Amino acid sequence: KLKPFPKDFLWGASTSAYQVEGANLSDGKGPSCQDVKEIPEGTSDLSVCVDHYHRYKEDIALMAEMGFKAYRFSIAWTRILPNGTGEINQQGIDFYNDLINECLKYNMEPIVTMFHFDMPDALDKQGSWSNRDSVDWFVNFAKIMFENYGDRVKYWLTINEQNMLTLVGPVIGTLRIPEGTTNILKETYQQNHHMLVAQSKAMQLCHEMLPNAKIGPAPNISLVYAATSKPEDVLAAQNCNAIRNWLYLDMAVYGKYNNLVWAYLEEHDACPEILDGDNEILEAGKPDFIGFNYYNTMTVGEADDSIVSDAGADQQSSNGVAGVYKGVANPNLGKTEFGWEIDPVGFRGTIREMYSRYRLPMLVTENGLGAYDKLTEDGKVHDQYRINYLREHIAQVQLAISDDCEMLGYCPWSAIDLISTHEGIRKRYGFIYVDRDEFDLGTLNRYRKDSFFWYKKVIETNGAD
Ligand code: BGP
């Protein structure tokens, strides 16, 4: 029997600072790793994006026109702390104050991502997350955000897609491994350990400073299927699920390393150094909910020696991990124009699996279809393909709710067109089209896509569409 969406379901959508704001080195903002990385060939740089930094009032008014109950955005670390630590940039503090107040003007819950792929360059220069001081750097930044915005922000997300930073960060330029590192895997999981400790301390601090706020992680979760019923393929899928998904959620929720992952790290001499007191910190930091990004499921089989590396992979595609699993295509699924598989039923399966493991309310912080949208002469964008994708995925969320999984809200990627992690402005996700191309800034005018009007109706009818 189909259950209705909860009456206070948080319908909204998401963006991230480095992909949407622009003004990446203006008004006192310092450079992050995004502002110094090599821009992928043929794609836009991040100096303008869609100029949300100056046009956020118009953008939030458009979100309110759709009836959003929430807006998930990230706070750029180097807009607040240009050097990552030390001196505070008041213009940065003021910008996010204004942004939050604009949301509240329309009764929209601001859902703040504290860290979304934009490590301060000044801290990367001090070893990035390899440096144990990164725990204190992040907690200091968290404290400043809680002090300035904790009176109005009730929902906090710690680190966007920490699992993607660890698994493909070096590939898509969101994680820096110090020069001269010999054991890359060990260094990566040492960085990951520091992020986990920092996350737990930030969750504890949030509960101490903001008793009415809710905080949680925001990993990218793809349930991993076995390529066949061959037992070795099932074991490979278990290993991939552990390495890609459960490591992060077991740690956030239980404060413990997943045993399959620890065995894998031991096997590869890549176990992170755990300091005295770390385990107590990890167990003390507890999430109030689990935010997660879902784009699709993945399929793996038993590893064979064809695996060379995860080069060319991205968040949603993996060639595999040598000796552990091999990524394979799922012949039952269609693909987007950018090659990502599409699996709405897998969304329900992923939610069911997470709820039975962790028994915590969940918030969808990303889900969406990247496509080559076209603006017509009369200012329309006929993105029926995006309506179909979102409608199918929302239907599965409702089936998961009917499976008694507790869902807090749905914030698809993205509220408005913005710059892809590595495929430019052309890979569009928004309900709102922005008139610019990779190298031609165009008018930056906003246009309501067909999905804008459709999503407005979905929200008005609380998902009955
Ligand atoms: C997720 C990121 C988002 C967004 C999304 C779409 O991994 O959290 O920042 O980029 O992927 O991915 P892409 O932009 O690569 O299409």
**Average pLDDT estimate for 155-170:** 95
The alpha carbon of 144 and the centre of ligand 1 are apart by a number of angstroms equal to 27
Taking the alpha carbons at both ends of the chain, their separation in whole angstroms is 17
pLDDT of 308 reads 60
Nearest CA to ligand 1 atom 3: 421
State if residue 413 touches ligand 1 by the CB under 6 angstroms criterion: yes
Ligand 1 nearest-atom number relative to CA 19:
9
In this prediction, residues 304-320 reach a mean pLDDT of 76
Ligand 1 mean position, distance from CA 311 (Å) = 17
Contact 257 CB / ligand 1 (< 6 Å): no
Q: Is the pLDDT of residue 288 over 90?
A: yes
Q: Which of 293, 421, 425, 426 to mutate to test the pocket of ligand 1 (most atoms within 8 A of CB)?
A: 421
Closest CA to 203 of 134, 255, 274, 277: 255
Q: What band does 332 get if pLDDT is binned at 50, 70 and 90?
A: very high
Residue-level pLDDT at 312: 61
Mutate to test the pocket of ligand 1, among 72, 337, 366 (most ligand atoms within 8 A of CB): 366
Instruction: Check if 109 is active-site.
Output: no
Among 315, 338, 389, 411, which is best to mutate for testing ligand 1, by the most ligand atoms less than 8 A from CB? 315
pLDDT of 132 reads: 98
Task: Write down the catalytic residue from 366, 377, 423, 460.
Answer: 366
pLDDT, mean of residues 433-449: 98
Q: Which atom of ligand 1 is nearest to the CA of 370?
A: 16
Distance CA 89, CA 266 (A): 43
Instruction: For residues 432 and 250, give the distance between their C-alpha atoms in angstroms, rounded to a whole number.
Output: 36
The predicted pLDDT at position 395 comes to: 98
For residue 367, the CA-to-ligand 1 centroid distance in Å is 9
- CA–centroid distance, 121 to ligand 1, in Å, is 21
Q: What tokens appear for 152 in the block?
A: 């109005």
DSSP 371: B
Q: What number of CA atoms fall less than 13 Å from residue 298's CA on the CB side?
A: 28
Q: Read off the pLDDT of residues 258-277 as tens digits, 9 standing for 90 and up.
A: 999 999 999 999 999 999 99
Tell me the pLDDT tens digit for each residue of 108-125. Answer: 999 999 999 999 999 999
Check residues 464 and 34 and name the one with the higher pLDDT: 34
CA-proximal residue: ligand 1, atom 16 (nearest): 420
On the CB side of 247, CA atoms within 13 Å amount to: 25
Write out pLDDT tens, residues 357-386: 999 999 999 999 999 999 999 999 999 999
Q: Which residue has the higher pLDDT, 171 or 256?
A: 256
Residue 250 has a pLDDT of 98
Per the prediction, the chain carries an average pLDDT of 96
ipTM score assigned to the predicted complex: 0.99
Distance separating alpha carbons of residues 324 and 243, to the nearest angstrom: 10
What is the atom index within ligand 1 of the atom nearest the CA of 340? 16
Structure tokens at 163: 């699992």
- What backbone torsions phi and psi does residue 415 show, to the nearest 5 degrees? -55, -45
Pairing of β 334-335 and β 362-366: unpaired
Task: Please tell me the distance between residue 174's alpha carbon and the centre of ligand 1 in angstroms.
Answer: 11
